Amino acid sequence: MANRLATEYVKTCLQLTEAEMNSFIRMFKDHGASMQIQVLENGNQEVVLEDDAGQAIVLSFERHMNMYICQGTCRIHNKNIVNAMRKAVALFKGDAVVHRIYEGYKMIYTYKQGSVVKITENTDAAEKVVYEYRDTLGQLERLFHKNEVEAEIGSIRGQINQLLDLRNEQQDEGLREQIDGRLNKLTHRLFVLEA
């Protein structure tokens, strides 16, 4: 099994309430992370985690109304912090692009609302999609609720009925042929739509 060199959170967006912020901090403490919390004068907070490489990982949370919003990037080497961050993104329905870096390649995970929606393997030679979420049920529901075809069928039937009434009233053979040509096109379109 390949040894992961680092995990890089390239684009991360977490939105936490005050209660969730406390849970977020507790989650990292439960994973054995060495941390400091700095509360700034404007209500913003910085969570400073100490990584294996002795580098500080700073997660800045800006306070907007009753929410703490963290947007940014960080590179993590400590497996416990990596696991805590992965769980935090999932639990708090975060969005993120995560690069898991290995020798010679990296796996790119894209999270939307806490769920993995795409996994890509990226090497110097190529990029390969390993997994991509498809909302099949949602697509089928949207398709089921589409009713443009039914509306067009109803419109064509109405036009055909009007043309048949007009044809029956006409004595002029030239006008009847024009109406017949139009009826032929409409019945063909109706056949295509109903098929």
18's CB contacts (< 8 A; 6+ apart) are 66, 68
Q: Where are the beta strands (DSSP E) in the chain?
A: 4-17, 35-39, 45-50, 56-64, 67-76, 95-102, 105-112, 115-123, 127-132
Partnered with residue 61 across adjacent β-strands are 45, 70
DSSP structural state of residue 57: E
Helices (H) and strands (E) counted in the chain, each on its own, are 5, 9
User: What pLDDT is stored for residue 150 in this prediction?
Assistant: 84
User: What pLDDT is stored for residue 190 in this prediction?
Assistant: 87
Residue 68's nearest CA partner among 124, 132, 20, 12 is 20
Cα–Cα distance, 84 to 14 (Å, whole number): 14
Residue 89's nearest CA partner among 19, 24, 5 is 24
Cα–Cα distance, 134 to 95 (Å, whole number): 17
The answer to whether the CB of 116 falls within 8 A of the CB of 110 is: yes
User: What pLDDT is stored for residue 2 in this prediction?
Assistant: 72
Which regions in the chain score pLDDT beneath 70? Answer: 1, 53
User: What pLDDT is stored for residue 81 in this prediction?
Assistant: 92
| 133 token code pair | 């979420």
